Amino acid sequence: MNILNHDSIASEWLSGLDLAGKTVSVVIAGVEEVTVPEPRTGRQVRKVAVRFQAAKKALLLNATNAKALAKLFGLETEGWTGKGVMLRPENVQAFGATHCVVRVAGAAPVKM
């Protein structure tokens, strides 16, 4: 059993642990605004989610990844669909703990 798929832990959002220590290439299927609970307060907040072709989970953008994607593909998210991107896991210190997060690692070629 993959513990990350268990109902008590599973999330619809991509995490660094989902990448299993590997850099992966994905193609952006779309970008949308979503409302999600803020983990520390439970307050509803608006976030931007990036969905990928052939992937079950979407990536909620933080400032670091949003800026990286904007640098690669431009400020207008409508232009990101169909673009290839590499994602990698990274351990970061935040909120008093170490977290495995997703980082945008660069553009990736798109196979036609």
* Run of H or E residues at 97: strand 97-108
> pTM score, two decimals?
0.86
| Residue 11 CA from chain centroid, whole number | 12
pLDDT, position 48: 98
pLDDT tens digits for range 4-40: 554 545 688 999 999 999 999 999 999 999 999 987 8
Q: Which of 27, 71, 75 is nearest to 51 (CA)?
A: 27
d(CA 88, CA 41): 28
Mode of pairing for the β-strands spanning 97-108 and 44-52: unpaired
> Sheet holding 44-52: strands in order across?
59-60, 44-52, 24-37, 84-94, 97-108
pLDDT tens digits for range 52-103: 999 999 999 999 999 999 999 999 999 999 999 999 999 999 888 898 999 9
